[in-house]
């Protein structure tokens, strides 16, 4: 398994974004360049820990037959020493996908947040049913009209 596939699958496992990152081919194609950039930034920030976590995932995901990307696989991953040693990096993977930012310093509430580069594509916006602050693809004045009911 190549690193990009492993990172996308690990990201889906950690975030729960299975459809967006793995199952839906159109979404996966759209998220591919973002995944490559996120992986590049995380690798640059955590040059030892990020590959260790990725390799722990690969060791489980490359089993034959390939296990489904689900809660059982997550439970198995969480039991590994590599996950326990790099849980902070796993948390940053979740942060970068939802918020397009992460931090490089563990246990420091004042540590700066590093930009992931795709603020408007953070998955938090769909969770809270809002568009990114300062960004909208709607025409000026859209906020004056009552929104359509959610499906």
99 or 54: which leads in pLDDT: 54
Domain ranges of the chain: 3-123
Average pLDDT score over residue span 76-96: 97
Distance separating alpha carbons of residues 132 and 121, to the nearest angstrom: 8
- Render pLDDT for 2-53 as a digit per residue (tens, 0 to 9): 999 999 999 999 999 888 888 888 888 888 999 999 999 999 999 999 999 9
Distance separating alpha carbons of residues 3 and 25, to the nearest angstrom: 18
Quote the pTM value: 0.83
Is the per-residue pLDDT at 63 higher than 80? yes
Q: Which residues pair with residue 101 across a beta bridge? A: 115
Distance separating alpha carbons of residues 60 and 150, to the nearest angstrom: 38
Q: What is the model's pLDDT at position 39?
A: 97
- Render pLDDT for 130-147 as a digit per residue (tens, 0 to 9): 766 766 667 778 778 887
- Helix (H) or strand (E) run with residue 59 in it: helix 49-61
């Amino acid at each position: 398994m190549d690193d990009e596939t492993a990172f996308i699958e690990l990201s889906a496992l950690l975030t729960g974004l299975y459809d967006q990152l793995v199952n839906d081919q159109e979404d996966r194609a759209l998220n591919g360049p973002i995944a490559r950039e996120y992986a590049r930034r995380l690798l640059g920030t955590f040059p030892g820990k990020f590959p260790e976590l990725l390799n722990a995932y690969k060791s489980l995901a490359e089993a034959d037959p390939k296990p489904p990307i689900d809660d059982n696989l997550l439970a198995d991953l969480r039991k590994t020493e590599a996950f326990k040693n790099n849980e902070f990096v796993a948390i940053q993977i979740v942060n970068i996908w939802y918020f397009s930012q992460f931090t490089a310093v563990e246990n420091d509430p004042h540590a700066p947040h590093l930009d992931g580069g795709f603020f408007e594509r953070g998955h938090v916006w769909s969770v809270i049913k809002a568009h990114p602050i300062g960004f909208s693809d709607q025409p000026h004045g859209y906020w004056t009209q009552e929104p359509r009911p959610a499906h």
